[in-house]
Amino acid sequence: MRLLFQRFGWVPLVAAGAILFYAARDLPSMGDPAAPAAVHVSPRYIEKAQEETGAANMVTAVLADYRSYDTLGEVVVIFTAGLACLLVLGAFTHTDTGSGESDGEMAYSFGSDVLDATIRMLTPFIVLFATYVVVHGHTSPGGGFQGGAILAVAVMLVRLVRGGAPGLKLSSTVTLAVASIGVFVYFGTGLTSLFFGRNFLDYAALPLPYEGGHLRELGSLSIEVGVFIAVTAILVLIFDVLTAGAEDP
């Protein structure tokens, strides 16, 4: 049976390829401004985003304002993924894991003096850049997801070089709690507007002394910060959980 599949495994592949290549010929030509994807809701986003949401970056406007409900689901997805990693690797059960796996400490590091000096110089700039990417997400490329990934990379680099050095260890409980705070910031923004009599995540209801686009910009900045916290914490959590039981190579 297995041999059969190995010998004829290319048949479904060729069939799928033929369908894909044939169908691609009927797609609208690339760069066509009148293509179906570019005519329905997209012009509205482009023309009104800055006026309505105060964000020059239309991707952020769609992500954090027009479709913030979707993004809420997205943050919950990544939160659930972190939780799943923790549960699958048995971080809460101390029964079947080997020695030294449950204390959250990496057993190895790539440390050397050069790497150590480099990482000391680089880390502040990476952190600064992550903050910039989040705060300027409305006027330039960036946002909570991107900034969170960059900050998580800073933490991971330090972990890789310096291993489980003192002061850098965060137990999975702590990172999970921080991630929960991020998700809570997101939910809290939505619930605040609900409390002040508008729809869930309708930033126009936030009790701040601003109006129109500026108010909505602050609302979406608030949820971006929530996303930032949650993504950073979850990526660090996943990294910690995956490397917890690693042996010295």
Residue 164 token pair? 């489980």
Q: Does 141 bind another protein (CB under 8 A)?
A: yes
Q: Does 235 bind another protein (CB under 8 A)?
A: yes
* 35-36-41 Cα angle (round to 5): 115
Distance CA 97, CA 84 (A): 17
Q: Does 150 bind another protein (CB under 8 A)?
A: no
Of 146, 169, 168, the closest CA to residue 232 belongs to 146
Q: Does 238 bind another protein (CB under 8 A)?
A: yes
Nearer of residues 48 and 120 to another protein, judged by Cβ: 48
Nearer of residues 211 and 247 to another protein, judged by Cβ: 247
Residue 25 token pair? 């010929």
CB neighbour burial string for 191-219, b if at least 16 within 10 angstroms, e if fewer? ebbeeeeeeebbbebbeeeeeebebbbbb
Distance CA 215, CA 206 (A): 7
Distance CA 158, CA 152 (A): 10
Per CB under 8 A, the segment of 34-42, 122-130, 160-168, 216-224 that binds another protein is 34-42
Q: How many residues bind another protein (CB under 8 A)?
A: 65
Nearer of residues 31 and 207 to another protein, judged by Cβ: 31
What does the binding site for another protein look like in residue numbers (CB under 8 A)?
2, 6, 9-10, 12-13, 16-17, 20-21, 24-25, 27, 29-33, 35, 37-38, 41-43, 45-47, 49-51, 56-59, 61-63, 67, 70-71, 74, 77-78, 80-82, 84-85, 88-90, 96, 98, 139-141, 143, 145, 149, 231, 235, 238, 241-242, 245
